[in-house]
Amino acid sequence: MNYPVFSLSPSPSVFVIVLLLFVQVPSSVSNSALFADCSNKFVCGNISADFPFWGTGRPPACGIPELELKCEDNIAKMNISQVAYRVLDINQDDGILRIAREDYLVGLCQPQFVNSTFNPKVFESVEGYTNLTFIYGCMAAPTAMPVPGLFTCKINAVNYQSGYIQAGATGPGECYGSVFVPVSITDLSPVVIMPDLEQSLKEGFEVRWKVDGEACRECNSSSGVCGVDSVTNQTTCYCPNQSSGSRTCALPGSTPNADPAIPAPGRDTFPVT
């Protein structure tokens, strides 16, 4: 009797099926994990936030790269353009962030000598604030400067200790260094009173982040959560039990809307870079 001979070499179609399994399953698992992770809120002290922020339990795919939050000793903090800030409030309805420079929370004399600057693709100014420049290490302050606007700080390796405040964002001139930072206009008076100014610095200032909020509302209304696609660098919608992000989550028996959530660069919204 002749027995059938079975080949141990799989056919090409078997290879294709196995390859598809390895490609599709990790994608689905990854998206489900991102849906779970990005559903978590950042919580630290009295600060709570979700998209477009990430950090402390929310991986980078959950938010904009420049909006990483950290929690240290139950205090929310973040770094923006090499400056350390304490996060005082996050108003997600209006897209407004209130922050205070860490170096000025302890007074005027320990600055990082880095200006408070913000990427215009990510942030825009809020009405009611103006820049003040703190100038350090001067041989002598301008003679026309009102006395309350003068201060004295000993800066390491600098012999001159005179400092003064100037309106606007300027450089140090002949002095050692300068720092400009936004200050509330309502907290200013024609004559600078240093204790009031130091208190204003501790209360911080506001900036608005530039992200298309409508896209996230569409995503959330379809039972998804917002994040940032690592391939397209655009806002996307993570959905439960779906293999890839999209603009919205699919209803049972339908196909998710895959249109990009953020318009092309050039619109007055933040294109993730």
User: Model confidence over 75-96: pLDDT tens digits?
Assistant: 999 999 999 999 999 999 999 9
* Token digits of residue 268: 């007055």
Q: How far apart are CA 57 and CA 64, in angstroms?
A: 15
Residues in the chain: 273
Q: How far apart are CA 173 and CA 175, in angstroms?
A: 6
* Strands of the 129-138 sheet, one edge to the other: 150-152, 162-167, 129-138, 177-184
Sketch the domain layout of the chain as residue ranges: 65-209
Whether residue 104 has pLDDT greater than 70: yes
Highest-pLDDT range among 80-84, 184-188, 210-214: 80-84
Query: What is the arithmetic mean of pLDDT over 167-183?
Result: 93
Q: What percent of the chain has pLDDT over 70?
A: 75
Q: What percent of the chain has pLDDT over 90?
A: 49
Confidence category of residue 6, pLDDT binned at 50, 70, 90:
very low
* Token digits of residue 157: 């390796």
Q: How far apart are CA 105 and CA 136, in angstroms?
A: 17
Nearest to 53 by CA among 227, 212, 248, 273: 227
